[in-house]
């Protein structure tokens, strides 16, 4: 929201891989090999331990788990969506698709239990300068796109 675009928390890095949606043991091994063989990462400041953990354990955890763990994926995806970096989004497509499918599945499962609607809120941190700019623009147009990764 500020006047300058600060360097993203996670540098512009990209990940690409292909995955499939099958459940047999052979298919799981094939998917694991696919991620290991085709996972291409250009690294600026991402620790090798995080990259290696992702390569080794990607299919052992759910996409929601990877998205919410303290690792580079959340920041990278958030930055790609916030900056509208199509290359980053394209290269994270395998993860975006997996995350979407899991969220859709969880929604279908949980919506059967909750018949009544309820509101969900999300907080967003803001530095003092940006907050002052927001106050100064009272009555003006406000536009944001960070909700895309929520």
User: What pLDDT is recorded for position 112?
Assistant: 82
Residue 49 token pair: 């331990």
Q: Work out the pLDDT band at 87, boundaries 50, 70, 90.
A: confident
User: What pLDDT is recorded for position 37?
Assistant: 43
Q: Which of 36, 5, 13 is nearest to 92 (CA)?
A: 13
Q: pTM higher than 0.95, yes or no?
A: no
Q: Which of 148, 23, 22 is nearest to 92 (CA)?
A: 148
**Taking a C-beta distance cutoff of 8 angstroms, is the pair 101, 21 a contact?**
yes
**Taking a C-beta distance cutoff of 8 angstroms, is the pair 15, 145 a contact?**
no
Query: How many helices and strands, by DSSP H and E, does the chain display?
Result: 7, 2
Residue 71: helix, strand or coil by DSSP? coil
User: What pLDDT is recorded for position 145?
Assistant: 63
Question: 117, exposed or middle or buried, with CB in 10 Å at 0-12, 13-18, 19+?
Answer: exposed
Q: Above pLDDT 90, what percent of the chain?
A: 13
């Amino acid at each position: 929201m500020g006047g300058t675009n600060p360097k993203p928390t996670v540098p512009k890095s990209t990940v690409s891989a292909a995955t499939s949606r099958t459940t047999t043991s052979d298919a799981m091994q094939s998917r694991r090999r696919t991620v290991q063989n085709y996972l291409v990462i250009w690294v600026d400041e991402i620790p090798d331990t995080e990259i290696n953990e992702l390569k080794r354990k990607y299919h052992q955890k759910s996409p929601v788990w990877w998205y919410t763990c303290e690792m580079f994926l959340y920041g990278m995806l958030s930055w790609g969506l916030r900056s509208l970096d199509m290359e980053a989004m394209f290269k994270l497509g395998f993860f975006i698709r997996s995350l979407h499918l899991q969220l859709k599945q969880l929604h279908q499962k949980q919506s059967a239990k909750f018949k009544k609607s309820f509101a969900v809120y999300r907080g967003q941190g803001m530095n003092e300068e940006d907050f002052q700019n927001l106050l100064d623009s009272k009555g003006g147009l406000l536009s944001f796109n960070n909700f895309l990764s929520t």
